[in-house]
Amino acid sequence: MEEIVLDKLRVWNRRIAILTGLVLLACVCVVLLDILMRRVGSSLGGTDEISGYVVAITTSWGMAYTLLELGHVRIDLLRGWSGRLGRSLFDLFAMTVMAGTITLIAAKCWPVLARSLANSSRANTPLETPLALVQIPWFAGWVWFAIVAWLTLAAALMLVLKGQFEQSEKAIGCFGEQEAASK
């Protein structure tokens, strides 16, 4: 069961990561078009603004993928010296703190979106983008990150309780600097 949840989460986050990467490539095209148009004396206008939104949205949606790929850097000093059970406890503790913090961040992001929705705010820029339009996917990304964090924690906890330390370490272990190197 736990393995199935983790696998599903990995598959979905991989798809999301590819999609966010494609958004990034689209942004490259927009920037290039703008540079070319500027050379001939015209301009698309607003590429900076669009780039900003792309960073905000790709970042919030990419976080969960990085989490499952064990990409968020952790210092492995004490943990590295512990035994299997000790390592699992370190991992569960770190993951609980992480899930809690991410949930708090997501909760605190809501008022930002709520205000934009309530006031129908628009960006103070030439594009006058309705802020809710870009803040909804940004906020949703953080919520998704929080959901993935809790689900991963729950699955890992079950694995540890069943004594499957190795599988739990694959899900929430330290990325290991050697592994980072091979990426």
Partner 1 sequence: MTSYVAVGLLSLLTLSIPVGIVLFLLGFGVDVFFSSFPLIRGLGNLVWSTSNNATLIAIPLFVLLGEILVRSGIATRTYTALDRWVSWLPGGLVHANVATATMFSATSGSSVATAATVATVAMPQAEKLGYDPKLFSGAIAAGGTLGIMIPPSINLIVYGFLTQTSIPRLFLAGLLPGLALAIGFMAITALICLMRPSLGGTRRVFPLSEMMQALLQLLPIILLFTIIIGSIYKGWATPTEAAAVGVACAILIAAIFGSVSRHMFTDAILGTIKITSMIMLVVIGASFLNFTLASAGLGRELEEFLSGLGLTPLGTIFVVVLIYIVLGFFIETLSLMVVTIPIIVPVVVAQGFDPIWFGILMIVLIEMALITPPVGLNLYVVQGARKSGKMSDVMLGSIPFVLAMLAMAAALIAFPGIALFLPNAVGG
Where do runs of H (alpha helix) occur along 40-127? 47-68, 77-81, 84-119
Count Cα atoms within 13 angstroms, Cβ side, for 19. 12
- Token pair recorded at residue 79: 């943990």
Using the rule CB under 8 A, which residue among 91, 144, 160, 169 binds partner 1? 91
Asked whether position 72 contacts partner 1 by CB under 8 A, the answer is: yes
Asked whether position 144 contacts partner 1 by CB under 8 A, the answer is: no
Count Cα atoms within 13 angstroms, Cβ side, for 17. 15
CA proximity to 122, closest of 110, 108, 134: 134
Q: What distance in Å separates the CA atoms of residue 137 and residue 135, rounded to the nearest whole number?
A: 6
Using the rule CB under 8 A, which residue among 2, 6, 9, 79 binds partner 1? 79
Q: What distance in Å separates the CA atoms of residue 60 and residue 138, rounded to the nearest whole number?
A: 6
Which segment (4-12, 101-109, 151-159, 160-168) binds partner 1 by CB under 8 A?
Answer: 101-109
Binding mask 4-43 for partner 1 (x = CB under 8 A): ----------x--xx-xxx-xx-xx--xx-xx--xx----
Asked whether position 108 contacts partner 1 by CB under 8 A, the answer is: yes
Asked whether position 143 contacts partner 1 by CB under 8 A, the answer is: no
Using the rule CB under 8 A, which residue among 10, 44, 66, 158 binds partner 1? 66
Which of the 8 DSSP states describes residue 176?
-
Q: From the CB of residue 120, how many other CB atoms can be counted at a distance below 10 Å?
A: 9
In the complex, minimum distance from the CB of residue 12 to partner 1, in angstroms, rounded to a whole number? 14
Count Cα atoms within 13 angstroms, Cβ side, for 163. 0
**Chain positions contacting partner 1, by CB under 8 A:** 14, 17-18, 20-22, 24-25, 27-28, 31-32, 34-35, 38-39, 47-49, 51-56, 58-60, 62-63, 65-66, 69, 71-79, 90-91, 93-94, 97-98, 101-102, 104-105, 108-112, 134-135, 138, 142, 174, 177-183
